[in-house]
Amino acid sequence: MQYNPGWNSSSVNLLHVRAAGPGDSLHYVWSSIGAPAVLLVATQSPSSALRVNWTQLLSPSPAGAIWIDPPDSVVYSTAVVFTKLFEFSDAKPFGELFYPTYDLSEFSWDSLNHTLNHTALTAELSGVPASDPGGSFANGSLAFRVTAYEAGGRAGRLPSLLHTADSSQLEFILAGVAPRGNSSRFVLEVATVEEAGAVRRLRSERSIDDEYTPTIFEVLSLVAEPQNGSSTLGFLQWKATAYGSRSPRREDGIRCRAQGLQAANWTLPVSSIVQAYFGESLGSTCTVSALNVSFGGEEGQVYQEKRYLSWSVLLGFGQPPRDTFSALVISITAVALGTPLAMLLLGSCLVLLARRRRYSEYEPIN
């Protein structure tokens, strides 16, 4: 993990996370320069490196300021941008009432270097609006907590997402922010950037297994696929829940919905690392898609009691991880289903044996 590689100032945030394999390497570049974003690049070289022209990156025309060396080693690249936070009230009888939008490209962000933990491979990007006339953020903040992984496993806190060494977890946190309505609900807008030849699709999978995330039976994945193939290039994956506590429990669950993936026909908010890497292709050959992730139940009581909201999403390359039943659940299921079946078979055998014995006692009439 490198913070602002090649730059000594902490006035801006750029975090480079590199994972090296025997024949390839993966790059995650997180930044709050402009709208918060992450650039994901997969290469076929174990020694590929990130290069940054800081003077150009911080200029009004950052195109070409970020690249991977050697350039021909890149096999796939994409970006995810967190653009806006919406707040609306669903109170009756007035229906939905939208408050002024929080544009994340206009936030003021703390130095990420203060939260960088090289041992745990974590960092947290925290910010508040540069202008907050209503004072909603006077005692609160919006944050993105990043966790990288060296091996496969499962997160210890709910929703206990399953991860691989090719993935990283992002936790979106809204803490202490005063809602502007009595029944406010929040919606996070997420945009993705794909180069020509790749397209994003939203998948929903349901399972009867809620062993690791109680009462949650749905997993959503925003996958990138080639237009002429069925393989998966990259993904965002999350469970259909958020939590309203710093130490989440089952009863702290908040309903989470994805409100459809659409082609973004608007100009992507200023995000320097995305523009710096994709350059002129961002407005021509690249495809920009967006979806809204909403938090809250039917009555909209999301945030009033504890004023805390956290949502976890996994980002990575290749196929998203798939949960399977643990050995304990398989054993319990086998016993629960196998015992009645064994008793049924044993009972059938005893009945047949008893019938044969009874009929064998009859003497022939003639």
195 touches 286 (CB < 8 A): yes
Instruction: Name residue, tokens 């390497």.
Output: 25
Compute CA distances 229 → 232, 292, 306, whole Å.
9, 27, 46
341 touches 256 (CB < 8 A): no
pLDDT at 184: 85
- How far apart are alpha carbons 208 and 220 in whole angstroms? 15
Parallel, antiparallel or unpaired: strands 25-31 and 37-43: antiparallel
Please, what is the average pLDDT of the chain?
89
pLDDT at 260: 86
Whole-model pTM: value is 0.89
Q: Which amino acid is at 73?
A: S
- The backbone torsions φ and ψ at residue 138, rounded to the nearest 5 degrees and listed phi first, read -60, -35
In total, the chain counts a number of residues equal to: 366
**Residue ranges in the chain modelled with pLDDT below 50:** 299-300
- In the numeric block, which tokens belong to residue 147? 């966790």
